[in-house]
Amino acid sequence: MSDTNGSLFNDLMSSEDAKKAKKAEYMREYSQKNKERLKQYMDVYNKQYREANRERLAEKRLEKRDERNRMTREWHEANKDYVVEYRKKYLEENRERINQHKREFYQQNREDQIAKVVKYQEENKEKLEQYRQNRYAENREFFLEQSRKYKQDNPDIAKGWRRTRRARLKNAEGSHTPEDVNNLFALQKGKCACCLRSIKKGYQVDHIVALSKGGSNDKYNLQLLCAPCNSFKRAKDPIEHNQSLGLLL
Ligand SMILES: [Zn+2]
């Protein structure tokens, strides 16, 4: 009895299975045959669904994004050493490519980038100043050494800085570049503006009207002098000085 029942049950089940298998086969064939048509249909359906549920889907995405971000943060926190090491290695291995990308991006978005930086600097003036001061205080020796080295390697630029600083202290207007000084050297044909002796071995940049007398710091108030002429003229009134040389009499 139980045997018969069992086999009947089995028969029923297998016929059920066979039906299922047949249906699945039919569906496979159907979807294979109508692939294009189904795809078109699904595209339209999906599009309509997305449009009809735009807000809900956006909300869901946002929820998921927060969740994902939180998980990422936690993972990063738990694997800090690995992340730092991995990042360092990645940067080293892809430095050229990354720099190239940065350059291209910067060139394409130059104005936006500059505006962004300026805005950030304006909005965070105090914070940045504090940061600079801290950084300087913590690395004072290093910065002094760097600065000393740079001035030694670039004496003309360093002299320019000193002139700018002097000018600023005296509230003088105007500014000039190392290039202006080079142009002046060419204009003066490598000769002292005062005694016309060669200054090819060295010269001093002089403010024609001294800063202390309200002279400007721009290139039109500069001349190149040999050391003796400059020390003779220094702090003297230019008219007085030229008179003393017999140039204005
Ligand atoms: Zn001279």
**Using one digit for the tens of pLDDT, what is the confidence trace for 166-221?**
888 888 888 898 899 999 999 999 999 999 999 999 999 999 888 878 889 999 99
pLDDT at 209: 87
CA of 233 to the centre of ligand 1 (A): 10
- Check if CATH label 3.40.1800 holds for domain 150-244: yes
CA of 230 to the centre of ligand 1 (A): 7
Alpha-carbon span 191 to 185, nearest angstrom: 8
Alpha helices in 34-153 (DSSP H): 35-52, 54-78, 80-93, 95-108, 110-123, 125-138, 140-153
Please answer whether residues 195 and 166 qualify as being in contact, where contact means their C-beta atoms are separated by less than 8 angstroms. no
Please answer whether residues 211 and 167 qualify as being in contact, where contact means their C-beta atoms are separated by less than 8 angstroms. yes
pLDDT at 247: 66
In this predicted model, what pLDDT tens digit does every residue of 227-245 receive, in sequence order? 999 888 765 666 666 666 6
pLDDT at 1: 47
Is this structure's pTM higher than 0.85? no
CA of 14 to the centre of ligand 1 (A): 115
Give the residue among 222, 244, 219, 249 at the shortest CA–CA distance from 233. Answer: 244
CA of 167 to the centre of ligand 1 (A): 23
In this predicted model, what pLDDT tens digit does every residue of 61-117 receive, in sequence order? 888 888 899 999 999 999 999 999 999 999 999 999 999 998 999 888 888 888 999
In the chain, the amino acid numbered 60 is K
Question: Residue 62, SS3?
Answer: helix
Confidence check: pLDDT of 249 > 60: no
Alpha-carbon span 68 to 77, nearest angstrom: 14
Please answer whether residues 138 and 145 qualify as being in contact, where contact means their C-beta atoms are separated by less than 8 angstroms. no
Please answer whether residues 217 and 211 qualify as being in contact, where contact means their C-beta atoms are separated by less than 8 angstroms. yes
CA of 208 to the centre of ligand 1 (A): 14
Give the residue among 218, 223, 234 at the shortest CA–CA distance from 172. Answer: 218
CA of 228 to the centre of ligand 1 (A): 6
CA distances (Å), origin 232, targets 162, 164, 203, 229, 242: 20, 22, 14, 5, 11
Ion ligand 1: residues, CB within 5 A, are 192, 194-195, 226, 229
